Amino acid sequence: FDDLNETTDDTHIIKKKNGIRKKCGGFQGMGLSFPVLKGIQKRGYKLPTPIQRKTIPLIMEGRDVVAMARTGSGKTACFLIPLFEKLKARVPKSGARALILSPTRELALQTLKFVKELGRFTGLHAVNVLGGDSMDNQFSAIHGNPDIIVATPGRFMHICVEMELKLHSMEFVVFDEADRLFEMGFGEQLHDIVSRLPERRQTLLFSATLPKVLVDFAKAGLSDPVLIRLDVES
Ligand code: ADP
Ligand code: MG
């Protein structure tokens, strides 16, 4: 890994220039577009959290990223904000362009809600593909031509096989709560999914902890990733 492993928090640096106090480290300095900034503002976020400040610029640059930070540190917006920016450049549609994998149905539901709130001004279309929902509903969700799929791995693989889904349109893949994805026993499905994804893609992995199985997975599935580690849970 290209391990940055920084723990400093410079969120509240105030630069005094020409007698004007200017707050640095805000969302405004990140080169985000108006619809995305408006979503952030409506959600009530004033400043990025430390993990957001480290990861968003790297993801915007196109790097693969492994980000470790404790629960509640704001990891969802770390990947959603750059994802919105990347997906807003429209391409002729031939399938979903971003896949977010979550360990549980509850988390996947919550992440879709997050997409709809934070991304409400982007015009992007997102759906869930979840174990426990009817297959018919999920077939129609996929037929609705979503930009973003937020899924649990077992059902996503099932749908891929049933619908003979080709994943060649996927440009971005996020493994959210990756430690829990493995704890829940999804290792095999995750490898299956990765093997079906195009080589040319951006892959992001978010986790509260980094067990060996995850390091190995990241080495195999990510391309020259940057590791960001902030106030990690012991
Ligand atoms: P994690 O995935 O790291 O556990 P979440 O993405 O679920 O964290 O975020 C935790 C909470 O913090 C959520 O309620 C989220 O809306 C809020 N949050 C995220 N980023 C910010 C921010 N920049 N400012 C204020 N609140 C934020
Ligand atoms: Mg999370």
Tokens of 95: 């399938």
Q: b/e string for 142-167 if b means 16 or more Cβ within 10 A?
A: beeebbbbbbbbebbbbbbeeeebeb
Q: Quote the pTM value.
A: 0.90
From first to last of the 234 residues of the chain, give the pLDDT tens digit. Answer: 555 444 344 434 444 445 444 456 799 999 999 999 999 999 999 999 999 999 999 999 999 999 999 999 999 999 999 999 999 877 777 889 999 999 999 999 999 999 999 999 999 999 999 999 999 999 999 999 999 999 999 999 999 999 998 899 999 999 999 999 999 999 999 999 999 999 999 999 999 999 999 999 999 999 999 999 986 655
**Ligand number with the minimum distance to the CA of 69:** 1
Side-chain-side CA neighbours of 148 within 13 Å: the count stands at: 26
Atom index in ligand 1 nearest the CA of residue 114 equals 16
ipTM: 0.99
- Please give the domain boundaries of the chain with CATH numbers for all domains: 2-229 (3.40.50.300)
Angle, helices 75-88 vs 105-118, to 10°: value is: 50
Residue 85, φ and ψ in degrees, nearest 5: -65, -45
Contact of 79 with 100, CB cutoff 8 Å: yes
Atom index in ligand 1 nearest the CA of residue 73 equals 3
Query: 51: CA distance to ligand 2 center in Å?
Result: 12
**Ligand number with the minimum distance to the CA of 43:** 1
Tokens of 100: 């977010």
Query: 48: CA distance to ligand 1 center in Å?
Result: 9
Using CA positions, which residue lies closest to atom 20 of ligand 1? Answer: 74
Query: 166: CA distance to ligand 2 center in Å?
Result: 28
